[in-house]
Amino acid sequence: MDRATEETQRISAEAPCGRLLGTRSGEVLVFRGIPFAKPPIGPLRWRMPEAAEPWPGVREAIQFGPICPQAPSQIEAVLGGTLGEQSEDCLYLNIWTPACDGAKRPVMVWIHGGAFVIGAGSQGLYNGRQLAARDCVVVTLNYRLGSLGFLNLRDVTSGVVPATGAEGIADQLLALHWVRQNIENFGGDPGNVTIFGESAGAMSVAALLSMPAARGLFHRGIAESGAAHIGYSRERSARVAHAFLDELGVSDAARLKDIPYPVLIRAQIALLADLRQSRDGRKLGTVAFQPTIDGDLIPERPIEAIRSGEAERIPLLTGTTKDEWRLFSAINPRLRLMSRGAFEQRVRKVAGPATPEMLSAYGEGTTFDRFNAFMSDRVFAIPAIRLLEAQGSHAPVYAYRFDWSSRLLGGIMGSCHAIELGFVFGTYNQKLAGAFFGTGRAADTLATDMMDAWTNFARSGDPSTASVPWPRYEAQDRNTVIFGDGAPHTIGDPNQARRLAWEKAGEQKIGP
Cα–chain-centroid distance for residue 489? Answer: 25
Cβ-based neighbours of 281, under 8 Å, separated by 6 or more? none
In the set 122, 199, 204, 329, the catalytic residue is: 199
Give, in order, the Cα–Cα distances in Å from 310 to each of 214, 224, 236, 343, 461: 10, 20, 24, 39, 18
The count of C-alpha atoms lying within 13 angstroms of the C-alpha of 130, restricted to the half-sphere facing its C-beta, is 22
- Strand residues in 306-348 grouped as ranges (E): 316-321
Q: Coil, helix or strand for 211?
A: coil
CA 238 to CA 361: how far, in whole Å?
A: 37
How crowded is residue 207: how many other Cβ atoms within 10 Å of its Cβ? Answer: 29
Does 394 participate in catalysis according to the annotation? no
Task: With residue 455 as reference, give the H or E element that holds it.
Answer: helix 441-460
In the set 88, 324, 357, 420, the catalytic residue is: 324
Does 50 participate in catalysis according to the annotation? no
Q: What is the DSSP letter of 387?
A: H
Does 417 participate in catalysis according to the annotation? yes
How crowded is residue 476: how many other Cβ atoms within 10 Å of its Cβ? Answer: 7
The CA angle 172-176-179, to the nearest 5 degrees, is 140
CB 354 within 8 A of CB 501: yes
CB 164 within 8 A of CB 297: yes
CB 404 within 8 A of CB 413: no
Catalytic residue set: 199, 324, 417
